[in-house]
Amino acid sequence: MSVGLVPRGEPLRLDGGVPVYDSGAAPAGLRTKTQLGRRHRLKLAPGQLPVAYVLCRYYARGYQVEQRALFDPADAVKMKPLASKRKAEMEARRRCPVCSLVRGYIVRGGRCEECRDRAEAAAKRLRLRTCEGCRRQRLRGRPFPVVREGYGWRRLCVDCRRVTAAKRREADARWLERVVVCGEEGCAVRVATLREARAFLRATPRGYWAPRWCPPCVERREAEFAAQRAEAAARCAALEARWAAEEEERRRARAREVGRLEAWAAEVLDDPKSAVLDCETTGLEGDARIVDLAVVTVGRETLLDSLVDPGVPIPADAERIHGIGDAMVAGAPPFGDLVERLGRAVAGRRVLIYNKAFDVARLRHELTLYYLDQVAREAADWVFAAGEVPEGLRERAVTEALARVEAWMGAAVWEDVMVPYSNWVGEWSEYHGNYRWQRLNGGHRALGDCLAVVDRLEEVAGRGRAGVPGQGADGVRQDCGSGVAF
């Protein structure tokens, strides 16, 4: 291999047996196909293969790496000579219209790079000989000197320097008149000498002269500051006193609320007509059905405890929570068979429910379905006996069913336990803006949840087991009945 084809570095890898070099490591004598044509007027010989590759890195819409083939110029063949017209066209594109010289590149922008550099250098020299104040130009000689003006530097001629110096002297004079007297507005007592101020100005032309005050002004300022501090302290003391009073009022209000809840729980426990109801359902939807139902007195006497056949499959999500599946409710009575027994258990009683809104809605749904079916059978019997269908029978049937539901529900007084118990625990939630609802922890079965409600009532009334009230949840419903709160 000739001297010009000696590699300047080790190849990175082989591509089909051909070495691949990094940029700057390939042999200096090799050329790309474009370089052979433009610089040497050569073209590839028939069947000529690359002897090396080089990695070219450049930035064009992102960092790019391109592998280019390199060829040995000795194996290439000469191109045909260019025609005279073509040579003239190429020479015209490379001729500078300013200096009329033919360059080795295409001249763009109306002049070659050399002419552009000379013009930029001349413009720079002209800027150095141009005054930045009056824009007067010095065609020859030295550039204008650079002088300080304010907080910057500018090239100025003699006249502009004189104007700048005069302005600076006037500003210094105004500054000297201002800093040698007391810094209090309206006070003319001298607190510094002109010599001291001039020495500071010469030593630190851009420094900051701290304002000074005469002794009377210092005393007056200190007295004003002391009065302001005393006023601020008085305001802080008043605020602290108001906050303390508000906190004391909140504490007393909280104590009154806790006392009211404890008295309510004691009243409920002492009422012989108080009972606790709970149910487990197939879900949380508006058409969820009851699968477990229980009623217990506050004396822990069981009035009703029965599984309920919902008439629909129990979802797996609900079964994982309360453990009641389709096999368990197979053979259990439907809700309609328990209506009379449930009515006798709650009639005339004070019925307590943990999360009353949910359980009462489920009872209303079941009772509506039961009485709609009952009224429909009665209407069918009447139509069969009369032999005709009266107008508005459907609307009257629905109205009658809803009236029976309201009559059934009105036979008892329904009260909630979850909100009073959560308010008694007093775990405040900033997110919800009220007391966090507490878990019941009754085991997710109707009877166990009823007994757990009695435990919560005894806990509020001070008759239960000593201990810390249950911790609040995160505001998300956790079960498919009222047995476990939110």
Residue 5 in tokens:
């084809």
Task: Say if 209 falls within a structural domain.
Answer: no
CA angle 96, 100, 102 (to 5 degrees): 65
Three-class SS of residue 208? coil
Contact 348, 411 (CB under 8 A): yes
Domain containing 71: what range?
3-81
Instruction: Kindly give the confidence (pLDDT) of every residue in the chain, 486 residues in length, as a single tens digit, with 9 standing for 90 and above.
Output: 444 577 888 899 999 899 999 988 999 889 999 999 888 889 999 999 999 999 998 887 788 889 999 999 999 999 988 889 988 998 999 999 999 999 888 999 899 999 999 999 999 988 999 999 999 988 777 888 998 877 788 999 999 999 998 988 898 899 888 889 998 888 888 888 889 988 988 888 777 888 888 999 999 999 999 999 999 999 999 999 999 999 999 999 999 999 999 999 999 999 999 999 999 999 888 889 999 999 999 999 999 999 999 989 999 999 888 999 989 989 899 999 999 999 999 999 999 999 999 999 999 999 999 888 888 877 777 766 666 666 667 788 888 889 999 999 999 999 999 999 999 999 988 888 889 999 988 888 999 999 999 999 999 999 865 444 433 333 333 334 444 332
pLDDT at 61: 78
Number of domain units in the chain: 2
Task: Say if 9 falls within a structural domain.
Answer: yes
pLDDT at 474: 35
Distance in angstroms (rounded) separating the CA atoms of residues 151 and 245 = 58
Contact 194, 209 (CB under 8 A): no
Task: Say if 478 falls within a structural domain.
Answer: no
| Residues composing the chain | 486
Residue 209 parent element (H or E): none
Task: Say if 263 falls within a structural domain.
Answer: no
Distance in angstroms (rounded) separating the CA atoms of residues 237 and 228 = 14
Which phi and psi (to 5°) does residue 121 adopt? -65, -40
121-155 as b/e: b if 16+ CB within 10 A: eeeeeeeebbbbbeeeeeeeeeebeebebeeeebb
Domain boundary among 81, 109, 138: 81
Residue 31 in tokens:
């050329």
Distance in angstroms (rounded) separating the CA atoms of residues 450 and 216 = 82
In sign, the C-alpha dihedral spanning 443, 445, 449, 452 is: negative
Distance in angstroms (rounded) separating the CA atoms of residues 470 and 440 = 8
Three-class SS of residue 304? strand
Three-class SS of residue 228? helix
CA angle 273, 279, 281 (to 5 degrees): 165
Task: Say if 395 falls within a structural domain.
Answer: yes
Three-class SS of residue 480? coil
Task: Say if 123 falls within a structural domain.
Answer: no
Domain boundary among 54, 81, 108: 81
Task: Say if 156 falls within a structural domain.
Answer: no
Three-class SS of residue 69? strand
Three-class SS of residue 434? strand
pLDDT at 59: 82
Distance in angstroms (rounded) separating the CA atoms of residues 81 and 356 = 103
Distance in angstroms (rounded) separating the CA atoms of residues 169 and 192 = 19
Three-class SS of residue 43? strand
Closest CA relative to residue 37, chosen from 77, 2, 87, 66: 77
The CATH number linked to 438 is 3.30.420.10
Task: Say if 234 falls within a structural domain.
Answer: no
Three-class SS of residue 459? helix
Domain boundary among 81, 113, 146: 81
In sign, the C-alpha dihedral spanning 304, 305, 311, 316 is: positive
10 Å Cβ neighbour count for 423? Answer: 19
